[in-house]
């Protein structure tokens, strides 16, 4: 929490400037946007609990479904994830730390910049932080959290304090500027040392917040010199160049989330149908013995009710396009081979029956019995793509 600076006697140069300590500890209702942001983050977290998210971080599948930032999903036409990700958290500790920091610095920044400037600062910087995270993390992590946006508030606070250093009471300046620098550096160092923290979002938010603080700067009581147009334009130019550079350097995804979800659905459908076909295979063999079907009759039943079904399944699986890096890519390839093997074994069985070739029938039966062993290798839980990606907290 930002420490409370002792309120010293006001110097003449700052006689017209309100105490920053007083602004920080004014009524919470004087900072309604900060209050609303904290409430929104908490409510989203509670809602996710009802859909399977945990109090502690153990899986990112729910967050991914709700809109966390992840290259294969974001770049599959779901660019809104750059905004939604800043309201999603991975566990109660992650949420508590971010909300503590937001509540602490947000009330002051909302009073300094005004509600609408504060909203623009927070949301635009959060998106920028997520954009840098997408460039750096790409396909490697499912990320989310408010700290990229929170870091923008510290970046803006540092710019404000430095610009108004002559008009802020010296002890307040040293206290707040020193703590903001310490918090920023310590958090970035922790992001390097602790696995799972998305420092790229922190840095993106920090830099964007500092630039927006220059662009959105408004006159401060006690300072007779308002922010210059030249400074605003220079900051706007730098921000535009930075965003343009990020947009042109987003790495291509190793797969598309839509393709992965379609593959998962097809895999589940095939495994269900395979159970039915296995039962049908055994039933046909038994009925052939029991009902004394002719070889031609049994061959025809196997061709139409088994071989054709497996051939259709193989063609359906073969028609799916899935990048090699997708979680289901290996499973899909194994099942394609399995469906093809079962189709070939069924055709061979039918041909052996028609030719009354005992050796061919024996080999077909052996191939059909071995095929399920191959399918067992593909029985991987069809979970969201986040099961294969590490989750990054912010």
CA 301 distance to own-chain centroid: 49
Cα distance between residue 234 and residue 222, in whole Å: 25
Please, what is the angle between helix 147-163 and helix 115-137, to 10°? 120
Q: What is the DSSP string of 121-167?
A: HHHHHHHHHHHHHHHHHTTSEEEE-SHHHHHHHHHHHHHHHHHTTTT
Q: Bridge partners of 390?
A: 141
Alpha helices (H) in 1-91, listed in sequence order:
20-24, 32-49, 61-66, 71-74, 81-84
Per-residue pLDDT of 50-81, as tens digits, reads 998 888 876 788 999 999 999 999 999 999 99
What are the structure tokens assigned to 144, written together?
């989310």
- 202 catalytic? Reply is yes
DSSP label at 6?
P
The residues near 264 (Cβ < 8 Å, ≥ 6 apart) are 328, 382
Candidate list 89, 94, 202, 347, residue with the active-site label: 202
Least confident of 40-54, 144-158, 316-330: 316-330
- 25 catalytic? Reply is no
Nearest to 105 by CA among 143, 145, 160, 144: 160
- Segment 160-188 shows an average pLDDT of 90
Cα distance between residue 390 and residue 329, in whole Å: 18
Residues 137, 195 contacting (CB under 8 angstroms) = no
- Segment 23-51 shows an average pLDDT of 92
Q: Where are the domains of the chain?
A: 12-253, 257-384
Residues 199, 145 contacting (CB under 8 angstroms) = no
Which pLDDT score is estimated for 302? 81
| Torsions phi, psi for 151 (to 5 deg) | -60, -30
Candidate list 21, 84, 125, 147, residue with the active-site label: 147
Residues 126, 149 contacting (CB under 8 angstroms) = yes
Percent share of the chain, pLDDT over 70: 88
Nearest to 146 by CA among 132, 131, 128, 126: 126
Cα distance between residue 148 and residue 153, in whole Å: 9
Cα distance between residue 198 and residue 142, in whole Å: 10
12-253 belongs to CATH 3.90.226.10: no
Which pLDDT score is estimated for 21? 80
Per-residue pLDDT of 212-249, as tens digits, reads 999 998 887 767 677 788 989 999 999 999 999 999 99
């Amino acid at each position: 929490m930002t420490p409370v600076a002792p309120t010293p006697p006001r110097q003449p140069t700052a006689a017209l400037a309100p105490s920053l300590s007083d602004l920080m500890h004014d009524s919470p209702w004087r900072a309604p946007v900060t209050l609303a942001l904290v409430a929104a983050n908490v409510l989203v977290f509670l809602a996710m609990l009802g859909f399977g998210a945990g109090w502690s971080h153990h899986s990112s599948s729910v967050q991914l479904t709700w809109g966390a930032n992840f290259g294969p999903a974001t770049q599959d036409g779901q660019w809104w994830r750059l905004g939604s990700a800043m309201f999603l958290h991975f566990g109660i500790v992650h949420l508590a730390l971010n909300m503590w920091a937001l509540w602490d610095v947000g009330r002051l920044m909302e009073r300094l910049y005004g509600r609408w400037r504060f909203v623009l600062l927070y949301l635009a910087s959060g998106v920028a932080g997520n954009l840098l995270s997408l460039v750096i993390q790409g396909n490697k992590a499912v990320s989310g959290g408010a700290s990229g946006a929170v870091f923008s508030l510290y970046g803006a606070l540092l710019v404000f304090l430095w610009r108004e250093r002559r008009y802020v009471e010296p002890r307040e300046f040293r206290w707040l500027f020193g703590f903001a620098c310490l918090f920023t550096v310590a958090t970035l160092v922790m992001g390097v040392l602790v696995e799972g923290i998305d420092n790229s979002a922190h840095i993106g938010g920090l830099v964007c917040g500092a630039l927006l603080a220059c662009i959105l700067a408004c006159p401060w009581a006690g300072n007779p010199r308002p922010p210059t147009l030249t400074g605003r334009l220079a900051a706007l130019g730098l921000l535009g160049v930075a965003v343009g550079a990020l947009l042109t350097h987003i790495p291509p995804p190793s797969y598309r989330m839509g393709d992965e979800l379609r593959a998962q659905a097809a895999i589940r459908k095939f495994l269900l149908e395979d159970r039915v076909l296995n039962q049908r295979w055994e039933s046909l063999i038994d009925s052939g013995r029991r009902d004394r079907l002719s070889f031609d009759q049994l061959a025809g039943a196997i061709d139409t009710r088994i071989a054709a079904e497996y051939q259709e399944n193989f063609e359906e699986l073969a028609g799916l396009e899935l990048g090699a890096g997708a979680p289901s890519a290996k499973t899909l390839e194994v099942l394609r081979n399995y469906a093809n093997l079962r189709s070939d074994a069924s055709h061979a069985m039918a041909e052996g029956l028609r030719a009354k070739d005992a050796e061919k029938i024996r080999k077909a039966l052996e191939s059909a019995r071995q095929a399920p062993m191959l399918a067992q290798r593909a029985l991987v839980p069809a979970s969201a793509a986040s099961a294969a990606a590490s989750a990054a907290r912010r």
